[in-house]
Structure 1
Amino acid sequence: MQMITPIYAGLLTLVFLALSIMVIRQRFAVRTSVGDAGDKGMIKRMRTQANFAEYVPLGLILMLSAELQSAPAMAVHAMGASLLVGRICHAIGMSRTPQVFLLRQIGILLTFAMLALTALGLIGHALL
């Protein structure tokens, strides 16, 4: 049986690298290697990257746990797609000036739904 979670782990890592490159480019633009130099663009890029980094690891852990508990492949793909699309929507919405709040809201909704539903499913499966 082929594992599904590594596909989404790889895709999410590529998104994280893109967000990291945005931070690095801004660091060169404002000529700072540490901190935000008081630059609003730098702060926005750093928070966009950090927000991604705060949610994705937990999502992948939950997803892998569900897959290891033999969750149906379609359910695992739904988890991965929700996390991936949610985090991309949130990053795009947050990184724009002005922010695109609808994309941020969609991203938050998809991410939180994935986390909550997967967590509840894992708990339920473990208790049965």
Structure 2
Amino acid sequence: MDIFSSLPVTLVFIAIFALIQIPMTIAVGLRRARSDIHFLDGGDPVLLKRMRAHGNFTETVPISLIAMAAAELAGAPALLLWIGGGALLLGRGLHYGTLVNSGFGNGRAIGMLFTMTPMLIFPVYVLWSLLQSQS
């Protein structure tokens, strides 16, 4: 069994999120170059927003994808994986867009709800599956 047949849904989302992170990283770098701020945020609110949006993405996406992969390996239904991955994608997009454009707003909160839902559901599925396999 190869990785493509073991994790067909998760691999799609890993690729998508990896590609999304590239422009986020570039946006921070471009702002650093324009503002001549090479460390921290230098008090630049635009740079700070970009840094936090990128940082929050980096803090939440990898653990979510690991949990998703674990759920897929544990036999989670494809529909659950697609919905969870889609929710994560929507959540990260809402959070990033709101944070970068306005800094505050309902989009950030809604984005975090969409992010936290798969972060909760995938590991719960794994733990439930482990408990079921022990009984």
Q: TM-score range by the shorter chain?
A: over 0.9
Alpha-carbon RMSD: 1.3
Which residue pairs with 1:37 in the alignment? Answer: 42
Is the counterpart of residue 63 in structure 1 residue 68 in structure 2? yes
Q: Work out which of the residue numbers 97, 100, 106 in structure 2 matches 1:102.
A: 106
Unmatched 5+ residue regions in structure 2? none
Structure 1 length-normalised TM: 0.92
| Structure 1 moving runs of 4+ over 6 Å | none
- Matching residue's letter, 1:117: I
- Matching residue's letter, 1:40: P
Unmatched 5+ residue regions in structure 1? none
Q: Work out which of the residue numbers 96, 107, 115 in structure 2 matches 1:111.
A: 115
Which residue pairs with 2:58 in the alignment? Answer: 53
- Offset of 1:34 from its aligned partner? 2.2
- Determine what percentage of the aligned residue pairs are the same residue: 30
Separation of aligned partners in 1, 2:116 and 2:73 = 21
- Matched residue SS, 2:37: coil
- Offset of 1:100 from its aligned partner? 5.0
- Matching residue's letter, 1:106: I
Q: From the CA coordinates, give the structure whose radius of gyration is larger.
A: 2
Structure 2 length-normalised TM: 0.88
